[in-house]
Structure 1
Amino acid sequence: PVTLRTEVAPALPTVIGDSDRLIQVMINLISNAVKFTSEGSITCRARLDGPRLVVSVTDTGVGIAPADQPKVFERFKQVGDTLTDKPKGTGLGLPICREIVEHHGGRIWVESAPGKGSTFSFTLPASNSTAPRGPIDLASLMRQLRERVVVTAPVSAERAPRILVVDDDPNIRELLNQEFLEAGYRVTLAANGREAIERARQERPDLIILDVMMPEMNGFDAAAVLKNDPSLMDVPIVILSIVQDKERGYRLGVDRYLTKPIDTEVLFREVGELLEQGKSHKHVLVVDDDQSTVRTLTDVLRAKGYRVGDAKLDDLLAQARALKPDIIMLKSDGSNQPDTVRMLRFEQGLENVVFIVYQ
């Protein structure tokens, strides 16, 4: 059990600011403390320090290593990569806390040691008024806290999307397994590319998360096999790797390419978007000056349920910007094709588009 305590100094001055945003800071800090404190206490304190109000949240949880403390307020950082005391690290709301506090003219910091808990503190400029504030509405605060920390399944368990997680690092597999299970997904695990292909053919997942550097068969080779299997080619693949080779991944047809260290907030957002896209048929842009070819491809693709648009080669950039298709089928003209693809993907904000070049 975890006990929530408050220690608020009497007759604190008024603070002028956005109450909703400041409540959000407290909710983020308390929910972070709850997540990483399996037993003990969480203490919220407020006191006056000269012209500043100092608010702190202290927990008796796992603590944070000194080397990791400068990173906790950076965007998209998950501190800790082992599962000895799952969960490790810090919540993803801390960068938001910093932005809100600094916007109000304050600062935020952490004091912590592994195994000894953490204290997150922030300051706010106090106004000249000394009128005391009313008592903290703990019931309201805890109600909002529960809304943030309680995870609800996206659908019933038997109909929940199945995620295939492929990584040779058992810690990463277990981390993602727990994160997705807690979010209500079904999860299948594989330790290498060959095992991933076998599991995918057996269970046909709704989405695959794939590492690159693995023994027996690496992630790029596995993605190539999966994207050329008629029964699996429409399953979204998210590459999650330390290897920086997005262009190769997108050439193979992967849907997203994310780099480690794992940012669970971004990963969950991308997974959600891909699964949502899968509920409706993808949009294909056919680019060819030969109208008979365009008509043939359009008929075939629409028969398979795709939404189809078309463009001439000269109109490719404008149409791609306007339609933002999922797939571009492009006739090769044998000249500047690689430059065209690179410009579309990296300069026009279409890096997640799958390109199919034909002759």
Structure 2
Amino acid sequence: MRQAASLEPELIVSPKPVLAMLLFIGPVLYLICALLGQPWDFLAPIMTLTLILALCAAVGWALSNWRINIARWFTVLAVSAAICFAEVLLGAPELLVLLCLTILLAASMLGVSWAAVIAITETLLLVTLAHLGSLRAGQPTIWVASFGIWMTWGILLIVYWPINGVIDWWQTYYQRAQALLEQARDRQADLSQTLEDLANANRQLSRLNLLTQRLHAEAEEARRAKEQFVANVSHELRTPLNMIIGFSEIMLGSPNTYGSQVPPSLLADLAVVHRNAEHLKDLIDDVLDLSQIEANQMTLTREHVRFQEIVETAVVAVRPLFASKGLYLETDVPKDLPPVLCDPTRMREVLLNLLSNAGRYTQHGGVRVRVWRTGNDLLVSVQDTGRGIATDDLGKLFQPFQQLDGSIHRRYGGTGLGLSISKRFIELHGGKIWAESQPGAGATFTFQLPHNEPPTSEIGDFSRWLTPDWEFVQRTVPSKAPRSELRHRLVLWENGPPTLKRLLEHRWVDTEVVAVSNLDAALAALAETPHQALVVNDSSVTGALERLGSATLPYGALALVCSAPAPMDSADTLDVSDYLVKPVSQEALLAALDRLGLPVKSILIVDDEPDALQLFRRMLNASGRGYRVLLARNGREALDVLHEARPDVMLLDLIMPNMDGFQLLTRRSDDPILHHIPVILVSAQDPAGQPIVSSVLAITHRSGLSARQLLTSIRALSQAMTGVGSIDDPVRSASQSG
């Protein structure tokens, strides 16, 4: 706790008012004496005293601006010296009584303690000067002056003593009140934070409830669609396959039915058609069974079979593929393998998938199938000499509809479903499958099967976690939690200034915008609470899509990527000289060139529209000013022309392919050679009169877009682009469309 003495610095006054008084005392005293008709012999010492006081005031004022404590001491000492000097100069010993005033100044500017030091110093000074004969005052005057000094200090001490007590009491209670106030503020802050957290939790629960209802409806719709799909596939695909298989069997079994001799080559081709039709029928059955696997309704037809026969059948089915590509297909299967309890159809499908993949992705060399026994397990490996698989991609192989990149599908075909089905078949048998590979060293797929009956899963039905004694108790006390309005939530990642954030907050006041600065923060915000979408604002849409593709977005995350530069409120925002809005007349174009105030001989026009290039060139040539006109269709061509020809002015369109106007302006600003070339923007506006702020909008979804979602998005975007409907109230629009 602070003592009262520590408050003395707060009671100390500035020396500047005293210095101002010293500055005016001399002239006032001189003026009074002159008006009273005093002779020059009396006025001359007063004039000298006036100059001394003015000099002391000036020095003290300068010191107060430099060191305030030094200025206080100088003021007190200067007043004391001035009084002593006046006593000697004017021959008035009674002026020494004024030294008591210096005690008042010392107490007000230095404190009572230092005032005692000043009193002791002045007393000793008076006694010393009187003993040396430097003062005209006699001993009685010296004693009177000393008595006045100590009397003044005593009165100050009597006055300050109760004041210090009151200050001490006030300080004690003030600190106690301050501590209570801080506690109250902390409690209030904790309460406000708790209420805010509760409101935020309520918002999140509301979002989760809405999301749960939506997901439940979508799951129910997906279940019905799956059942309908199974029924349609069972009928629509099996019927034509039945015709193909039936007619091919008739042609192969009874070729004479058609009345003429069937060529052997045709019979061989029909055998291939029949074999592949049978395989397609089995494959359809497996795809249809995949839905049963996901619903835990898949049943296996187990029997003890010789695995050598399964391998041989699969090898025979794929050997034409290997022969057509000049690849070898070797098998290493022991003849003394005991029978294996499995579903032969499913195991044959697994081998066919692995061999077909190996044959498609191998260009040189071949494939080796190896079967061996380890303990009570049977291991089967399919090793190829293909291009290999990166370590980071191995985890994607067994995911449904996953392929390493889009080029694989274009070159080799397939849907990316085979390995996923094979993995599920192996797991249903109680085994496991894995892949080993290095880029350029081929790949090896190995699966393990138990010889005996696999153990049943220890994970029972979820109902085993439910207790019959539990009962629902209705809440009787109403909740006092604050209810906040549920707002749509967008996570916004901008690689640059917060242009889109300001636009969203201005237009969509009922939407919560969570701004982040990097991809990691965006992923954290997406995982924290439910959201509507991730909005990415980046000058390079392609780069943003690549970064999103390499990141792992939460399931169902919708990402919107656009390129919205800084708002074009003025030409200075983009570091350009002028800004023209299409359509541009010849008069406006020439006026913009005149406003530059520079001699213009060569002009570079940058626009991706050939008609616009032709129009502006005609305008400049028709002006009769003899301009040399250079043309460029995009930013890259414009950079080449700028470095080669160094035009005097550049007319620039903002929206262009390859490199748009914003990117070109950035490159120009970074180039010290091109930075001085003035730029006049020539760009368009949309029908609503709003400047074009983004040239592209890309949509990506973590789990892909269904046909319904794709058509709905196309309709919504087409309405927005044509001006149908309102874009200022996304919540109301969504609720109406939903």
What is the TM-score normalised by the length of structure 2? 0.20
More helix by share: 2
More strand by share: 1
Task: Kindly indicate whether structure 1 or structure 2 has the higher relative contact order, using CA contacts under 8 Å at least 6 residues apart.
Answer: 1
Q: Highest Rg: 1 or 2?
A: 2
